[in-house]
Chains A and B, each alone.
Chain A
């Protein structure tokens, strides 16, 4: 029976791509630039010390970010659009909103405002949108291009949007990030702060958190991804197993003790492996994709300078409540925007660019993990419906109530 329910489980995809040379790296960087909202970035360097990693990758993620409570009418303000949206020097994401139960908003540096709204808000607003592509969710998506020709004051659509936002009074706590362009005469940080002050918007600046860890004794799998077995599903230390091992490291799971017949855990480190040390650096905050690219470039330098480092892994986590994942692809909760880039050097490939392999999990497949939550609900319907409402917590209220409504 369980199998029947799982058939409804959403589609997702994990893609392993292998690139070589400068072209490949550029391709890789371009796709990172399309992922605008990065929640966390991590760098894992085997046989590297904490100190060395700190020295080689520093002064990244220094851009200004702040949390400000802004109504949507304030975003439609012509001054704001001219000053910040047009040069593409600001991006914003609503914070504390849950994509499965409440309204969410995102402002891309490309000048597009994305709204993911519940049915109630959507109907009050009166702007045309599309129903959300995720099944089982009564949500609507609205996309407004703030820089379009037809989106100017006194034009019809602008007035309509303004009226709608005024009427519904949509207000979000936005995470704003100011992006500094080199050709700017005035840093966008000061511009943004000055703007907020002059318009009486309360904002609170925050810095990104950093966490530097060192693992002294770690079983590190030996991989060689110029060999095909790494990408083959059947081989023991393949990409999937390695990905799992990386997950163990970043989650702090100790997989050295467990055996395949252990009572507690049967997860073990993929073979062959050898003991070694590793350093892991993780940034958390509202990170901009330009800075992520910077990290990758620095990591490339680290690899070139230190031949003892076999590979480097860069992991990128997206926001789980962002309405947008890649480019302008829709995003639903339970769909983690997770990225990972691995790179290493191989002498025979000119020794300069080497090859980089990037792994994407949970990509832009249109799917929602909500469906999965639903299956579970059906599975224990008989005895658990009432209990579930009380124990599952606020996050899951939505599918529950909707289920009983059906």
Chain B
């Protein structure tokens, strides 16, 4: 049995005007990316990507997008995303944050990344109300230690699984 290997790309949409678009849905992102692929790689690229391409998750507030693609053609997708200029009819650019083999590891990266961003925002805060809000959010996120533990546990599980077959 052959497994279909895939890659997950964690991407971020940044609109030109710096605002968020609440009407952003996964289907609009899907169609815009596909159109960009067709533009850069033609019918052939479209055919290659279409088979396995999926938009797994879109967060309209942070502009974060999870995209699944087959392992053979993810480079094509990556290149095409660079040439993407418009999503939902608005000027934007797309930025690839992370490439991973599983959606889980993508998510872990996203947590880390968000934490970094929140810390940055914390430093830029001007009013105490904003500060309180962000520090509350930071507390809700899993701490560095718990993430480390989880990682160790996962590795232990994997090792055990390997040993026991």
Contacts and interface: CB of A to CB of B under 8 A. Distances in A.
Classify the secondary structure of B's interface with A: helix
B47 interface: yes
B47 to A, nearest CB: 4
A44 B43 CA distance: 46
A379 B47 CA distance: 11
Contacts of B44: 379-380, 382-383
Contacts of B47: 382-383
Nearest to B43: A383
Contacts of A383: 43-44, 47
Contacts of A382: 44, 47-48
B37 to A, nearest CB: 13
Interface residues of B, number: 5
Interface in B12-36: none
The winner among B43, B44, B48, B72 for most chain A CB atoms within 10 A is B44
Contacts of A379: 44
A348 to B, nearest CB: 58
Interface string A370-405: 000000000110110000000000000000000000
A140 to B, nearest CB: 33
B96 to A, nearest CB: 20
Contacts of B43: 383
Nearest to A382: B47
A380 B47 CA distance: 10
Contacts of B72: 1
Interface in B77-114: none
Contacts of A380: 44
A383 B51 CA distance: 12
Nearest to B72: A1
Interface string A1-18: 100000000000000000
A380 B44 CA distance: 7
Interface string B124-148: 0000000000000000000000000
A382 B43 CA distance: 9
A375 B78 CA distance: 24
Contacts of A1: 72
B70 to A, nearest CB: 12
Nearest to B51: A382
A36 to B, nearest CB: 44
A183 B43 CA distance: 68
A159 B43 CA distance: 58
Nearest to A380: B44
Interface in A1-60: 1
Interface in A204-248: none
A231 B88 CA distance: 59
A374 B47 CA distance: 19
A267 B44 CA distance: 29
A383 B43 CA distance: 8
Nearest to A379: B44
Interface string B65-77: 0000000100000
A382 to B, nearest CB: 4
A382 B44 CA distance: 7
Interface string B42-72: 0110011000000000000000000000001
Given A382-B44, A383-B43, A383-B44, 6 more contacts: A1-B72, A379-B44, A380-B44, A382-B47, A382-B48, A383-B47
5 contacts: A380-B44, A382-B47, A382-B48, A383-B44, A383-B47
Interface of B: 43-44, 47-48, 72
Interface of A: 1, 379-380, 382-383
Q: What 9 A-B pairs are tightest by C-beta distance, nearest first?
A: A382-B47, A383-B47, A383-B43, A380-B44, A382-B48, A383-B44, A382-B44, A379-B44, A1-B72
